Structure 1
């Protein structure tokens, strides 16, 4: 069995979209792929309950319990590695990862970012796109590298920026596309590896 470990910090909507696609498309039977664990750095992340409701094992490793980013990432690697993942998926995991962590999972660590990378790396992407006068915005699934929001593009979705758009309205439209492209990119990762 090929294992996926999904890391979350919040609502887990992208995690849930991946889990729904895996179930609906029969990834376990057709690809030998399953979500082995959902790990959160926040004990109160709503996505944990969502994962449990969908029958996925959950674990919590609070980052505030560690003295440094390095110590947390070392403990997180040990927690993830217990599941022998072929792929580690960042799904709203709001931590900047250390170079050692990224190197440990090189080639099998992916993220989704709410912009059309390389534009608008970092935070506040939707407001920045509106302020820049962009006519389109979107989301990007990418390989994770030591450089924030860089790495090979695996999938993108484009949405229009509408007149009078707010960051919240644009974010909601982008999120619906994230829920479509992230599961497709995860599936494609395993299809390429087959």
Structure 2
């Protein structure tokens, strides 16, 4: 909470006074009706969210997640290239957005150079939903343990030789070396190093 001058209001203990200023109360359970494409609060319709249900997202939902679709596309592309045939369109088509006469940001230049399965020959801009060939992989230490669990769940044992380089950082936890970090980070670094990543703190 702030006063008329924009200064934080404090209580008698000197702690900032918190004021709920959201239109939806904390703890409210909302429902997404995926068939009607509506956001509901109980029986009350709050918003039409049909624009969020892009063909790509609907495809992920039908598959129960993105992994099956992403790996399926990769396998299909690899097989098509190995056999020397054109890749058939069996998955949702890429969403290609292009603005004539508009320049490209650094990120847009990277994904235009590495886009996979793009039908258009024009430069693509932000908002496009396309696959991109990745040859450098980075993992940060705050999400690293989760990444290890995902790799183990997929029965992955080593990094692909198609990747030029992979790096596991320890920059976040190095500055907060508490008991949790001491217990988890050495395990993370050991796992990632055996997996084939460069590890550093």
TM range (shorter): under 0.3
What TM-score do you get using the length of structure 1 for normalisation? Answer: 0.27
Choose between structure 1 and 2: higher strand proportion.
1
Choose between structure 1 and 2: higher helix proportion.
1
